Amino acid sequence: MVAHPDAAHLVLLALTGLIGGIGITAIGPGGVLPTIGLFLLTGLSPSGVAGTAIVTHVATGVLGTAAYTHSGQLKAAATRRCAAVLALAALAGTPLGVLCNTLVEGRGFGLLLAFAVTVTGVLVWVRDRRAPHVPDDLAGPGVPPVRTAVVGFAVSLAAGLFGLGGPMLGVPLLVVCGLPVLAALAAAQAQSIVIASVGTVAYVVHGDVDWPLAALVGVPELAGVLIGWRIAHRIPARRLKYALVVCLLAMAPYLALHT
């Protein structure tokens, strides 16, 4: 790892924030990119990586939620119910994820992150095949609450462990469960606020947040969130999805071998 990032690495970190922000609101799985960047380009410990990354998702969650409220997705009753269940599940899952992070060493963190990245890549691919068969009816019954709670708990557990928001795993899982893509994106943004807020408090208490790096990654990430929201509504995202799948699956072996 790079103990003290030089100018080139700082630029790369900012780019992971920008691209990650675009991915968060355009397709869901994008918040993992800042975590990957912090893990590969800095000398932070696993808890430092997760703590610094999760701080950035407080603002991105708020901005993403506001954007999807403005565009109408969070005004649908089914989507609001889904978001509420996800948020409640995050109150239990996120602290457990933070606790798990404190038990993981650097190599183990890399292996777990590689596994999570691989699972995400597969889920995005499955979601892309599943999404055309999901009716885009925001007024429908949505996903059953129990299933939503299970998804919310699993997502927040992983988010607390790796310093993620909700959309990375939440969006593809919700779509696979039958929720329309835009509704899944909207609900996951709302859950991300709870995950990031609870996770930030926990990591701050442990002194595991590098605030300058959080700002370096987080500011471009906010810009990316707005860009991604526009992409989700105006531009077919199929190519972006496939590029992300290839990128994640290509990164997984490197993360697993990185020490």
Q: What is the pLDDT of residues 40-70, one digit of tens each?
A: 889 899 999 999 999 998 988 898 888 888 8
For residue 135, pLDDT over 70 is answered with no
Domain that holds residue 33: 7-257
Average pLDDT over residues 29-45: 85
Amino acid letter, 74: L
Asked if residue 209 is part of any domain, the answer here is yes
pLDDT at 130: 57
Contact of 159 with 170, CB cutoff 8 Å? no
Asked if residue 1 is part of any domain, the answer here is no
Asked if residue 226 is part of any domain, the answer here is yes
Tell me the per-residue pLDDT of 213-259, one tens digit each, with 9 for 90 and over.
Answer: 999 999 999 898 888 877 776 665 566 667 667 777 877 887 777 65
For residue 108, pLDDT over 80 is answered with yes
- Beta-strand ranges (E) seen in the chain are none
Asked if residue 110 is part of any domain, the answer here is yes
Tokens 């002194």 belong to 207
Quick one: pLDDT band at residue 210, thresholds 50, 70, 90? very high
Average pLDDT over residues 71-98: 91
Q: Which two tokens stand for residue 209?
A: 């947040």
For residue 138, pLDDT over 60 is answered with no
Considering 18-32, 53-67, 81-95, the range whose residues carry the highest mean pLDDT is 81-95
Q: Can you tell me the distance from the alpha carbon of 122 to that of 130, in angstroms, rounded to the nearest whole number?
A: 12
Quick one: pLDDT band at residue 104, thresholds 50, 70, 90? confident
Q: Flag whether the pTM goes above 0.85.
A: no
Gyration radius from the chain CA atoms? 16
Q: Residue 84 is inside which H or E element, if any?
A: helix 77-101
pLDDT at 216: 94
Q: Give 47 or 27, the one with higher predicted confidence.
A: 47
Asked if residue 248 is part of any domain, the answer here is yes
Asked if residue 213 is part of any domain, the answer here is yes
Average pLDDT over residues 150-161: 93
- What's the half-sphere exposure (Cβ side, CA atoms, 13 Å) at 165? 38
Task: Give the Å distances, CA to CA, from 123 to 96, 137, 227, 241.
Answer: 23, 22, 23, 11
Q: Give 134 or 29, the one with higher predicted confidence.
A: 29
Asked if residue 137 is part of any domain, the answer here is yes
Quick one: pLDDT band at residue 127, thresholds 50, 70, 90? low
Quick one: pLDDT band at residue 1, thresholds 50, 70, 90? very low
Q: Can you tell me the distance from the alpha carbon of 99 to that of 225, in angstroms, rounded to the nearest whole number?
A: 28
pLDDT at 177: 83
Share of the chain above pLDDT 90, in %: 33
Q: Which two tokens stand for residue 14?
A: 């900012």
Asked if residue 171 is part of any domain, the answer here is yes
Query: What integer best gives the mean pLDDT of the chain?
Result: 83
The domain total for the chain is 1
Q: What is the DSSP letter of 106?
A: H
